[in-house]
Structure formats: C-alpha cells, structure tokens
Amino acid sequence: MKSNNDNYWLKSGIINLVQNFAGVFFGFANFYILVRLLNKHDFGIWTLFMSTTTILELIRSGLIQNAMIKFISASDRSEHPKIISSAFVISGSVTLTCIIINTGAAYYLGLLWKSPDITIMLYLFNFIYLFSGALTQFNCVEQANLSFKGILVANIVRQSIFFLYVLVCVFWTFGSTLEDLVVVQIVATAASAIVAYFYAKDFLKVSFKIYPEWIKNLFNYGKYAFGTTVSSILSGTVDQMMLGAMMSPAASASFNIATRITNLLDIPTNAIATIVFPQSAKRIVTEGNEGIRYLYEKSVGTIIAILAPGVLFLYFFSGFVIDFLAGGKYDDSIPLLRVLLVYCLLIPYGRQFGTVLDSIGKTKLTFKIVLFSAILNLTLNYFFIKHFGTIGAPVASLIATTISFFIAQYILRREFGVSTFHTLIYAYRFYPEFYYKFIHPKLTKSKIKK
C-alpha cells in the first residue's frame, strides 16, 4: 500500500513537473521570440491582452474546477455521471455569460489602453473561450480520477502549435499582426481540446439529465472558489493593468518581463498543488487534521527547497538573465525582478494554504483571505505606482503578500496546528532525503539526519 502511494506521488509528480516545465518553457520561448518580433508598445498590448483573457479563463475554472475534482474524488462512481453533467451545465452558463461580458467590454478596454487592436483581439478570443471550456472539463475529469497524462499531452499540443508559428515568423521573416497571433491560438486550443477528449473519454460518463441537487452542491462549493480565483488573479495581474492605464503599455511590458522570469519558479509550486488537492480531499476523511498538517508542511518545505537555489541565482545574475532573454531593451526590469524574487519565496505558503482549505471544503475562508489580499494589493498599487512609478508595483505586491502570509499562517496554526518552522525543517531535510532515496537508494535511511 505504501509502495503504491509512493508510486502515485512519484509518477504524478514527474508528470506534473514536466507539464509545468513545458508550460514555462513554451511561455519563455514564445516570449523570447515575441519580444524581438514585436516593438515595445505592441508587446505591451499583447501582455495586457493575455492578462485580461487569463482572468476570463480563471473565472470559469475557478467556479467549477475545484468543485468538480473534489466531488468526483470523494464520491461513489455511480454519482460521477450526475456530477459531470451538472458541471457541464454550469460551465456552459458561465462561458456564455463571460462571452457576453467580454464582447461588451472589448471596445472600452481598447479606449482605456489606447489600442483599437486589443478590441479586435478580444472579439476573436470568444472562439478560444468556447474550445477552452471543453478542454477544461476534460482535464478536470481526468485529474479527479488521479490521471494526468492527457493534461500534459493536451497542453503541449496547445503550446507547441503557437510556438511553431512564431518560430516560423522569425526564421522566415514572415510578418504577423497581433490579430494573427490570436487566430493561431484559436487553432491551437481546438486541437488540444480534441486531444484531451481522447484521454478523458473513459472517465466521461455523462447523463443527459439535469440534476438540481448536484448543480446546487457544485455551485455552493464553487462560488467561493470562484471568488478566490478571481481575487487571486486580479491580485496577480492588477499591477500590470494599472501600469498600462496609469503609465503606458511599455511600462506594463517591462513589468511583464520580470514576471515571466519569476514564472520559472512557479513550476514546483503548481505541480505539487495539482497533486496535493485530490490527496488532501481524501486525507481529511482518513487521517483528519494530522494528515492535513503533515501534507501542508511537507509540500511547502519541498517547494521552498526546490525554489531557494533558483531564487539566489536569479537575484545575483538578474542583469545577465534579463539582457540575455529580452535583448537589452528592458534594463528597467532588473530592479523589478529583484523585488519579485523575495515575493516568490512567500507564494508556496499562500498557494498551499488555498489548496488545502479548498480541498476540505473551507472555500469561504479562503475566499475572504484572498479577497482581502486583492483589495490590499489594488490599493497599495494605486498609491505606490502613483508616487514611485513602475517599481511601486512589485513593492506593493510584496507588502500585500507578506501581510496575507502572516494571516494565513495564524489560521493554519489555529485550525490544524501547522508550524511555519516545520516547513523550514522539511526544506532542510529535502536534500539528504532526495539523495538517499533517488540518487543513492542502496544506502540505509538511517544515514538521513533526523
């Protein structure tokens, strides 16, 4: 039993690490090409477009994704068709609502950011949103059944199609407009949805009926996860949007450069959060608070151990990294990156806090904390950008995240007895445990310092 559990964590961990690494790799590769293909203004517009559409994507996934995974993971298989069908009803309703909102807001966002191009881009995004709705549902069903292979393959298909297109544009000097880039995204999303379907079809037991009780259960759980997701993404993108509105798209582009570099450090955080969610939903039933406490401390400690070397390297070589990646046009991103690196060390604590509380049904509490953080971040960004310029954005985010960190740790200690110090102990132990378990497995475990 223990061996099977270890295999689950190892196999799932490797797949999710590869998936997140692939996402960051393609994101970086696309960025590396686009920052040279587009001028600073157009790259800023592309950044604002991606930030806006990310919010729309996460509005839908926030309402249904965690709820669907939780209930499928914790319920009898006979209930799965009802849950999946109810999730499709909610997802379809949200998709239609967001398309209407996006269509109505596109013109005004074009005026706000002084770009008619972004209006057309947002109109085209409606087609992406339809295909990504199906893609999200297929991925959720697979993840809820503790399978991740299809998610990996579908994401690689989606990202590689876009990457190959921009690569062709550079090497064959093939001109491309911002609207062309969105059209390619439509094709890529449709292709990945088809791939995801074939991996998830064995789990897709759909009942073509409406089940009000399950729609109510999913919605009541998901409404707070939805609020949490929206608040979280606003907290993460409001700085770029405010820079674009209060200063210029170019300022938003400079901040985005620093953000994209720190996205590398999100690989272990996202991978472990994906694995922890369905596991903690099971552990609260089988092991209670003790299991949740261990899961949180161990997962955060592991992430910190993996992040620390990368943070130190990027901090001391930030100038070299930005010049290499952005081609020397974004030296103003260097101080922004250094502030964001400190902020990155606190992200695992907040991410796992939300993951654990959502998985055991405390979505309302998570929502309150994240909403508070988003409002605080929005307020601080306004005043700091107004008085200090571009550097005010990362400083505001760091202060807001630090305050939220202390609040979250207090709640975790009260609810589960979590110790922040224990996460650092697990981080310290990670290196010898990894060495003896994977590099030198023949050595006895007694050699690991306890």
Confidence tier at 350 by pLDDT (50, 70, 90): confident
For residues 412-436, give the mean pLDDT. 83
Token pair 């190892």 is found at 10
Say if 8 falls within a structural domain: yes
Residue 435 lies in a domain: no
- N-to-C CA span, the chain: 24
Strands (E), 82-189: none
**Is it the case that residue 343 has pLDDT exceeding 90?**
no
Q: Number of folded domains in the chain? A: 1
pLDDT in tens, 62-113: 777 777 777 776 677 777 788 888 888 888 888 899 899 999 999 988 888 8
Residue 89 has a pLDDT of 85
- Per-residue confidence band for 186, with pLDDT thresholds at 50, 70 and 90: very high
Structure tokens at 69: 């995974």
pLDDT at 276 over 60: no
Is 232 within a domain?
yes
Is residue 49, in this structure, part of any structural domain at all?
A: yes
Residue 405 has pLDDT above 70, yes or no: yes
pLDDT of residue 271: 58
| 112-126, 386-400, 421-435: segment of lowest average pLDDT | 421-435
* pLDDT (mean) for 195-214: 81
Helix, strand, coil content of the chain in percent (nearest 5): 90, 0, 10
pLDDT digits (tens, 9 = 90+) for 37-62: 887 788 888 888 888 888 888 777 77
Rounded-to-integer distance, Cα 32 and Cα 39, Å: 13
Among 201-205, 239-243, 298-302, 388-392, where is mean pLDDT lowest?
239-243
Task: State what percent of residues in the chain have pLDDT above 90.
Answer: 11
Q: Which two tokens stand for residue 280?
A: 């903690």
Q: How many CA atoms within 13 Å lie on the side-chain side of 389?
A: 7
Q: What are phi and psi of 419, to 5 degrees?
A: -115, 125
* 46/231: higher pLDDT: 46
Q: Report the distance separating Cα 291 and Cα 287, nearest Å.
A: 5
**pLDDT score, position 4:** 47
By mean pLDDT, which of 195-199, 317-321, 358-362, 375-379 is the weakest? 358-362
447 pLDDT higher than 70:
no
pLDDT at 25: 76
Q: Which residues contact 221 (CB under 8 A, 6 or more apart)?
A: 66, 67, 70, 71, 361, 363
Look at residue 124 and tell me if it is in a domain.
Answer: yes
Instruction: Look at residue 441 and tell me if it is in a domain.
Output: no
User: Would you say residue 6 has pLDDT above 50?
Assistant: no
Residue type, 63: L
Question: Is a pLDDT exceeding 90 seen at residue 301?
Answer: no
Question: In terms of Cα–Cα distance, which of 347, 350, 348, 403 is closest to 375?
Answer: 403
Whether the predicted pLDDT of 272 surpasses 90: no
- 327 φ/ψ sector (left φ>0, alpha ψ -120 to 50, else beta): left
Residue-level pLDDT at 448? 46
Is residue 276 within 8 A of residue 146, CB to CB? The reply is no
Of residues 188 and 31, more confidence is placed in: 188
User: Quick one: what percent of the chain has pLDDT higher than 70?
Assistant: 77
Q: Which of 154-168, 201-215, 239-253, 359-373 comes out lowest in average pLDDT?
A: 239-253
**Closest of 281, 273, 424 to residue 354, by C-alpha:** 273
Place of tokens 């191009």: 117
What number of CA atoms fall less than 13 Å from residue 382's CA on the CB side?
A: 5
- Looking at residue 449, what is its pLDDT? 47
What's CA 297's distance to the chain center, in Å?
A: 21
**Residue 449 domain-assigned (yes or no):** no
314 or 6, which is more confident: 314
Q: Is 426 part of a structural domain of the chain?
A: no
- Domain range for 304 is 2-418
Q: If you average pLDDT over residues 288-304, what whole number do you get?
A: 79
Give the pLDDT score at 286.
57
